[in-house]
Amino acid sequence: MTDLQLPRFCSEECRWKKITRDESKEHDAMVTKERRGLHLHRHYHHHVRIFTYEPCGGIVRHARRLEQEIYENPGSLPFQEILYCNLGNPQALGQRPINFFREVLSLCDNPPLIYRDEARALFSPCALKRARKIIESLPGNDSGAYTCSQGVRSLREAVADGIAARDGFPSIPDNIFLTDGASSAINMMMQILIRSHEDGILCPLPEYPLYSGSIILHGGTIVPYNLTEDSGWGLEIFEVKRCLEEARASGLTIRAMVVINPGNPTGQVMSMTNQEEIIELCMKEGLVILADEVYQENVYTENKKFNSFKKVARSLGYDHKEISIVSFHSVSMGYYGECGRRGGYMEICGFGPDVIDEIYKLASLTICPNIAGQILISLVMDPPKLGDEAFEIFMAEKEETCSSLLKRAKALQKAFSSLEGVSCNKFEGAMYLFPRLRLPPLAIKAAEEECVPPDVYYAHRLLNATGIVVVPGSGFHQVSGKFHIRCTILPSKEKITAMVTRLQAFHEAFMDEFRS
C-alpha cells in the first residue's frame, strides 16, 4: 500500500485557533536569535509556513501521486481513475458550460470574427451582438489591453444592474471591483482590514479554509463561532455574541464577521430572520460584514431563497452610510461553474472614499483582473433575458444543469445516509455534502497510532481503496471529537452510481475491520 504520508496529529481542541499567537511568539524568539547571529537563514515568512489549505492540500497531493502511479503502472491499484470530489470544480467532472457564455468569450478573444459572415454559421446572433457591444466598450476596442484596475466600467455597469435587478435596491459601478475570482477579493479585503495580530475576524466553524488561510497569512487572528449541526448548521446569534465578547475580553479588536450563505462546507441556506439578527449585531458592534455569496445561484430547497446581505440591510432601512458590507461573488459556482476563468466581483458598501482609494491602489499592484473573467462575470450578472433570441436555449441549459445537480445531490445524500454510523445534512444549497462519521473506537485508535485525526485517516483509507478524494472535516477546522468529510455533489450521473457502490463497499469493510 502506498505510504499515507500524513500530517502530525494534534489532539488539542482547535489548535488552529491558537496558532497565530503561539507561533508568533516562537517566530519572535527565532528572529531575536537570528539577529544575534545564532541562526543564519530561514527560508520563508512564518505566516506562509503555518497556514493550511486542505481542499488543495495533503490528500490532493497524495491523490496526484496515485494518479501518476495509475498512469505509469496501469492495473497496479484497485481502481482505474481518481475521482476528485475535494473541490467544487463542476467542469472537471463533466458539467457542460452555458453555450451563450462560451460563444461570447470566444468572439471577444478574436474580435475580427464578429464581423465575418462565416461566423454566423458558428455563433448565435445574440452572442455576436453581445460580443460586439462588449468589444466596443474595451480599451483599444480589443480584449488584449490592461483595463482599469477596478475592471472595465461597462462591465461593472452590467454587474451593478444585475445586482439591482436581483435585490430591488440600487447598486453603483463605483462600488464594484471586478476580481480574479472571489478568493483574490477575499484576500484583498483581509489585507486591508487586518493591521496586526490584535485584529480578529469572526468566522463560522466549520469554515471554508480560505478564510483561516488568508487571516493567518495577513497576520490577524481568527475568532471562530460554531454553527449548530443539530439545527441544520444554523447560526445562533448568542453564540456569535459570546465569541465576540470573549475575544474582546482577551484584548482583540474585532474588525469583521464572515458569513457564508449558502454555507460551505455545510450547505445550509440562511433564513432572512437570521440575516437580520446578524445585521443588527454588526451595526451595533461596528463590524464589517464579509458576505461570501458565491453560491447564490445554488439553492435547491423550495421554501428557502437566497437574499443578499445588502438587500436585507436595505430592507431593514439601513442606508449605505450606516453599515459596511462587502459581498463576494464568482463565476466559479452556480449553474455556470467556470472555475478556471477566475472571474468575480466584490461590491463594497458603507466605506468612505479613502478606503475605496486604498482598495483601488491594492488592486492596481497587479494592474487589472483578467479580461475573460471580467467579461464572464458581466454575463453571469446580465444573462439573456425573456425576449432575447438566446433566452430559451439558455434557460433550458440552466435548468438542466440545476435539476441534474439536485438529482445527484439526492443520490449521494441517500447513499451517505444509508451508511452505518453516518448522518448526512439536508442539502439546501452550495455544492457539497458534509456527512458526519461516527467511527468505532478501534478506528480512532488506529488513527491515533498513525498520528492523524480520525477523519483524515478515514479519507486517506477511502482514497487508497476507491480513488475517491474527499476533504476531511478537520480541513475545515471542525471542532475535534466530531468527524466529517466534505464531498462535492458534482460527479456525473453515471459516475455517481459507480461511486456509491464503491463508497458503500469501502465503508462496510472499514466498519467491519474496526468493529469491537
Binding residues for a copy of itself restricted to 313-332, rule: CB under 8 A? 332
E-only strand ranges, 303-443? 325-330, 344-349, 422-423, 432-433, 436-437
Residue 11 vs 110, nearer CB to a copy of itself: 110
Tell me if 460 contacts a copy of itself by CB under 8 A. no
Q: What is the 3-state secondary structure (H, E, C) of 171-227?
A: CCHHHEEEECHHHHHHHHHHHHHCCCCCEEEEEEECCCCHHHHHHHHCCCEEEEEEE
Q: Which stretch binds a copy of itself (CB under 8 A): 10-18, 357-365, 452-460, 465-473?
A: 357-365
223-262 residues in contact with a copy of itself (CB under 8 A) are 251, 253
Rounded to a whole number of angstroms, the minimum distance from the CB of residue 468 to a copy of itself is: 16
Tell me how far apart the alpha carbons of residues 442 and 82 are, in angstroms, rounded to a whole number: 28
Tell me if 217 contacts a copy of itself by CB under 8 A. yes
Query: Binder to a copy of itself among 17, 329, 341, 477 (CB under 8 A)?
Result: 341
Tell me if 70 contacts a copy of itself by CB under 8 A. no
Q: Which stretch binds a copy of itself (CB under 8 A): 157-165, 213-221, 226-234, 384-392?
A: 213-221
Direct distance between the N- and C-terminal alpha carbons of the chain, in angstroms, rounded to an integer: 24
Tell me if 5 contacts a copy of itself by CB under 8 A. no
Query: Binder to a copy of itself among 14, 113, 281, 500 (CB under 8 A)?
Result: 113
Tell me if 35 contacts a copy of itself by CB under 8 A. yes
Query: Binder to a copy of itself among 137, 154, 191, 301 (CB under 8 A)?
Result: 191
- Using alpha carbons only, give the angle 83, 89, 94 rounded to the nearest 5 degrees: 65
What is the maximum alpha-carbon separation in the chain? 74
Query: Binder to a copy of itself among 10, 70, 316, 355 (CB under 8 A)?
Result: 355
CA atoms within 13 A on the CB side of 87: 19
Query: Binder to a copy of itself among 34, 389, 392, 513 (CB under 8 A)?
Result: 34
Tell me if 221 contacts a copy of itself by CB under 8 A. no
Q: Which stretch binds a copy of itself (CB under 8 A): 15-23, 31-39, 380-388, 501-509?
A: 31-39
| List of residues 6+ apart from 91 with CB closer than 8 A | 97, 337, 338, 339, 340
Tell me if 87 contacts a copy of itself by CB under 8 A. yes
Query: Binder to a copy of itself among 63, 82, 85, 90 (CB under 8 A)?
Result: 90
Tell me how far apart the alpha carbons of residues 18 and 221 are, in angstroms, rounded to a whole number: 8
Cell (9 digits) for 451: 498520528
Rounded to a whole number of angstroms, the minimum distance from the CB of residue 440 to a copy of itself is: 33
Tell me if 69 contacts a copy of itself by CB under 8 A. no
Rounded to a whole number of angstroms, the minimum distance from the CB of residue 112 to a copy of itself is: 8
With residue 242 as reference, give the H or E element that holds it: helix 237-249
Q: Which stretch binds a copy of itself (CB under 8 A): 89-97, 299-307, 405-413, 504-512?
A: 89-97
Cell (9 digits) for 18: 491558537
Query: Binder to a copy of itself among 29, 122, 272, 396 (CB under 8 A)?
Result: 122
Q: Which residue, among 127, 101, 100, has the nearest Cα to 113 in the 3D structure?
A: 127
Query: Binder to a copy of itself among 9, 23, 137, 142 (CB under 8 A)?
Result: 142
CA dihedral 213, 216, 222, 227 (to 10 degrees): 10
Q: DSSP state, 12?
A: S
Q: How distant is the alpha carbon of residue 13 from its chain centre? A: 24
